[in-house]
Amino acid sequence: MKIRRGIAVSPGIAIGPAFVLGAEEFRIPHRFVDVDAVETEVERFRNAIQAVADEVGANQALAAEHLGKQYGAIFGAHLQLIQDPKLAKKVEKRIRERHQSPEYAVSQVLRDTAKELQNLGNPYLAERAADMFDLERSLLRSLLGQQRGELSHLTVPVVVLAHNLTPSETASLNRDLVQAFVTEVGGSTSHTAILAGALEIPAVVGVGDFLTDLSGGETVIVDGDEGRIFIDPDAETLKEFQRLQQEHRQTEAHVRARVEEHAETKDGQRILVFGNIEFPEESQQCQKRGADGIGLYRTEFLYLGSTKERTEEDHYQAYLQVVRNFPGQPVTIRTLDLGADKIPGAMRHFFRENINPELGLRSIRVSLEFVELFKIQLRAILRVATEGDVRVMFPLISSLAEFRQAKMIFRH
């Protein structure tokens, strides 16, 4: 028996035969194109962009229909990436000026961009680097006329083991046949992880290299609660997890049957249960499980997951998704809670050269020090407050003076 640990991103226990999804390896030679063929190759690249955009658009519609608009929005973000004119311009420049083939130009531009994101040392932006690699594979498939069809050929229930799964592949998983999935790479903030939760498929990511030891067909236990996988478990371990799996199913059925009931003490006192979320997509899961509202909506993802400065409209749309999921119920939005030592590059111009985390510049102090940044967020909160019962939380208030200053800015 082998035990591997990773990051638990979707709870539950699954037991089944391993289905090893082969990693896609595109070996793209540094091929040059004739001068006379340059515009033809540029057109071929543009056709590939359109084909991938059409595929992502179709996945967006399916995800919105079956999982909810919030999850369709994930593919909307991918669509924006695919249609980014800056990326397309870089690829076309390589084709025209360096006479590189579209395949090689795509690979070089997207890998360079991904490496830049990875080198920023930010886990959220590292996940966006994974999106770049996904886009590279999609474009190369289109340019080379290849398809990755193994997942569509499943006929029996399996546990999918892969180096990585793209959001499109995750959203299209057959929930009747895919009992769980495990990937070598990935993190809790990846789009694939978020979709796994929506699909309610047990999942563990970021396990590290382990596929080379597998041939497929091995019995695998996936513990989506603790982030563990057991390969070829012994009889005792298998029996224990079969028992836990049955308990989990019974508990889930019991909870689902009573999800509309209010939580009360024996003497009739109502207890309100609120969700604690980091991403707007998570609010739908809270709603399905009968939450009475959102008690804490952390907003750091808006900055940590972006390479560009966030606008008031970006904030507003992210808050609106959650508020509309809880009409008439309280949603508490916490303002930015970051230490100055973790400020992403997109916000650095607010801080100039006076960042010193040793002086305690973090949480509400960051917002009070850089008021324009604070006002962008507060204006969005005030706008969305017209749509529901919205409340605001200021993080790490350490004095009455800080609280009064924050309230004064809010009022103005």
> pLDDT tens digit string along 263-301?
889 898 999 999 998 888 788 888 888 899 999 999 987
Structure token pair of residue 172:
């299209």
Rounded-to-integer distance, Cα 36 and Cα 46, Å: 17
Rounded-to-integer distance, Cα 52 and Cα 100, Å: 21
Compute the mean pLDDT over every residue in the chain, rounded to the nearest whole number.
84
pLDDT score of 305: 57
This prediction has a pTM of 0.62
Rounded-to-integer distance, Cα 256 and Cα 109, Å: 48
Is the predicted pLDDT of residue 41 greater than 80, yes or no? Answer: yes
Residue 70 · residue 283 · CB < 8 Å: yes
Rounded-to-integer distance, Cα 374 and Cα 67, Å: 33
Is the predicted pLDDT of residue 165 greater than 70, yes or no? Answer: yes
Is the predicted pLDDT of residue 173 greater than 90, yes or no? Answer: no
pLDDT score of 257: 83
Residue 121 or 175, more confident: 175
Q: What does 311-370 look like in DSSP terms, one character per residue?
A: PHHHHHHHHHHHHHHSTTSEEEEEPP--BGGG--GGGHHHHTT---GGGT-BTHHHHHHS
Residue 111 · residue 85 · CB < 8 Å: no
pLDDT score of 384: 96
Rounded-to-integer distance, Cα 328 and Cα 307, Å: 34
pLDDT level of residue 358 (50, 70, 90 thresholds): very low
- When mean pLDDT is compared across 14-23, 202-211, 351-360, 394-403, the lowest value belongs to 351-360
Residues in contact with 85: Cβ distance below 8 Å, sequence separation at least 6, in sequence order: none
Nearest-10 Cα torsion for 242, 247, 249, 253: 170
pLDDT score of 38: 92
pLDDT level of residue 20 (50, 70, 90 thresholds): confident
pLDDT score of 370: 82
